[in-house]
A and B are shown apart, each in its own frame.
Chain A
């Protein structure tokens, strides 16, 4: 009997891969190794609706409860990939079980970077799972004090959600502006003002000197010596691919390069989502894309490739963020851009910024313009070397 297709990872990329496989007529064995004890669920609400208490965990599942059973997908819940034996086409789990496969999807996602200084403090959090979100939620009370380390999208979304709950929020960021690496200093400052206007204390170009407290962080000492009182701390300082288990497999353990069909360098092994490094035709290199849409498209593309179908057309990477009820969307990659043009009114929170290289658009930021995305995507697609 065929060993079938095995998905290492229980997130969005793996789920969408299973769906496309079944929709496209694959009727062989299909198993999914999920590290968490829950069927695949949606993560964007973890920093928003779930954290705010507007949704409960059960509402986040990507499919109704019986979907996997009805579609012949065996979920191995609470099981963790530990090693890949590519020569024998087997995945070894932490509990020692060996699972044979004909084709494997690496979709183990990413893990938050740790803030070493926060180790051992019980009110210091990172945010990746529904459990992380629920534990942080329990710390957020009106008048309580949250310190967010890192002004990336996760940190800023948590800051916005916490403010809406009446929490006093301080954001500590080493760079001179939030999101500076993606958006540049000017637009980064716009984000800083968006949050300052809502009462967030933005501490930019500032580092952490020390975390003080007995078991819990009670006080954060900033570079320069200022002390900020703290009831809970969230570290949002980026993620790294959760692929250390590939050590010794012949594939890189820090993110797996893939082609447009999710194929890795090892026959029969594919990767998608945060664990994968898709090829960016314009930049001519493999680049991480740690976003929801990349997981959807990567999972679907890998399923097609597994079945011998042509990959779909490549699209510029895109993601969205919701902060204070404002829809923020980003398309493409601004690396190598030589100009930025602005259309609209940043003060009114209604504008589009377009990054260009040699006069052609390569990336865009849309604020308060959700319906402008398709047109903007069309403008960018011609410049992404896509067919």
Chain B
């Protein structure tokens, strides 16, 4: 992602934009929608991200990981502009996350009342609601890892946090998601 600046001709810039940036637009829109939970906001965020990507295209090295580079711009746009504008109320106390991960709680026996069959019987809306109920920072790591398939290292670069923090946040996010899913499963009568 970082490195010496390149100098592209106008034609090269357009080619990079069309062949390396645009193929990721659906994944980015999906990510934007999942973090804003609003189609119009997601559309605005995508337009803003692509505008910035083109504006700063000189700092992108053709042939490198364009998807991670674009997701990083998207995430920064979301944090710097969208979240400020919308006064996102739910923030994660990362110290709390770190403390949790390093505590004895991580050895806790996970509850046995969430059966795999209950999970498999859930419909998309229930899964979506459970995910959306998480604080956005937790939602982000789950989407990046499970939906978009980024590696820990890529997520570390996108989110500007150490790999250990990526893993601890992901672990905490999954535990919270499991709790939400368990609540749905119980409400459906699965024991």
A and B co-occur in one complex = no
Chain A contact residues, CB within 8 Å of chain B: none
